[in-house]
Amino acid sequence: MSRRVRLVASIIGLLLFVLIVWRAGPARLVAGLGAAWWVFALLVPLWGLVYACNAAAWRLLTSDGSARVPFLRALAITVSTFALNYATPMASFGGEPLKVLAATPWLGSRRAVGSVVAFRLLHSLSHVLACLLALVPAALLLPRMPALDAGLAVAGVGLVVTALFLLSRHREGLFVQVLGLLGRVPLLGRVVRRLRPEAGVLRELDAHLTSIYSSAPGRFRAALVTELAGRLLTVSEFTLIMWALGLGFHPLAGFVAGALSSLLTNLVAFIPFELGTKEGSLYLIFGWLGFDPSVGVQAALVSRLRELCWMALGIGLLWLAGDRATTRLGVRSTS
């Protein structure tokens, strides 16, 4: 994406953010945040559990070999990876290269790449499944409007197709098939010709990617359940935020708000840092759920502050690890 497009997307997001804050009322937002400050004592450890689930699922997806990343090290790498992903303005992939390099001392480079790609696919799959589950209470709680009903139906079909595709990559691999697809694009012939001598390496990467699904399906199912549990914890965040903002205890409404807002913001992932899109989606969803839409903006800001706390912690882990941790998060311990 060009610099000009990124700039335009940033301006659009900023204008949307300012418009939504103005509509909700800045003074009211500040008052709501002041009344809900104590919820951070719940949200920070909640996301600690989420990252623990992420780390455990990643370790389960590691292909068989000489060693696996120790759990505490995997947890630290996971927190720092998500922190860098959040800091990446577009696509949120900035932490994956660091994760590969950090895991290489234990796994070797190709096992590390396979495990990181497998986890990224599983992470996306759990997101899709959580959104699919949220469509059921959404159909019950959201108002009956033709456009909204059609949107939920289209989202359901799209999510099912996406889930099947992500699951197939764990079974069939990714790297060699991507090379084949690139070969069908006329303008990319030169790139494909340069990569074809590396087909053996790509097949080995695919073998590491698919090994758990094919040779240890029980581990794959355990990883999926663990990752899905972490995903469900993330959307429960809005149940706590609603409670803190004085709306009462509404777990289904919180589930719908968290899942659908995540789905909507991913549809416009080209806007850096979800600027304005997170606030806008929750403004709409809270209104659809029968709450004051401005409280949705307050909920978005509370969630953003939690994101910044964990982002700071992840970057802090990199800093504490020393200069060498800028390329990898530690040196494999000797025994």
pLDDT single digits (tens) 247-266 = 899 999 999 999 999 888 87
| Structure confidence by residue, pLDDT tens digits, 40-70 | 788 889 999 999 999 999 999 998 877 889 9
| Structure confidence by residue, pLDDT tens digits, 71-126 | 999 999 999 998 888 766 555 566 788 899 889 999 998 899 999 999 999 999 99
Which amino acid, one-letter code, is at 233? Answer: L
| Structure confidence by residue, pLDDT tens digits, 169-214 | 898 888 777 766 666 666 566 666 666 666 677 888 888 889 899 8
CA 284 – CA 299 distance, rounded (Å): 12
Distant-in-sequence, close-in-space partners of 197: CB < 8 Å, separation ≥ 6:
none
For the chain, the helix, strand and coil percentages under 3-state DSSP, each to the nearest 5: 80, 0, 20
Average pLDDT, whole number, for the chain?
Answer: 81
Which amino acid, one-letter code, is at 58? Answer: W
Which amino acid, one-letter code, is at 97? Answer: P
Backbone angles phi, psi at 247, to 5 degrees: -90, -5
Query: Is it the case that residue 275 has pLDDT exceeding 80?
Result: no
In the three-class reduction of DSSP (H, G, I as helix; E, B as strand; rest coil), residue 335 is classed as coil
Query: Is it the case that residue 8 has pLDDT exceeding 60?
Result: no
Q: How confident is the model at residue 19 (pLDDT cuts 50, 70, 90)?
A: low
What per-residue confidence (pLDDT) applies to 175?
Answer: 79
C-alpha 196, offset from chain centre = 32
Backbone angles phi, psi at 40, to 5 degrees: -65, -30
The mean-pLDDT minimum among 81-95, 110-124, 129-143, 306-320 falls in 81-95
Which amino acid, one-letter code, is at 41? Answer: A
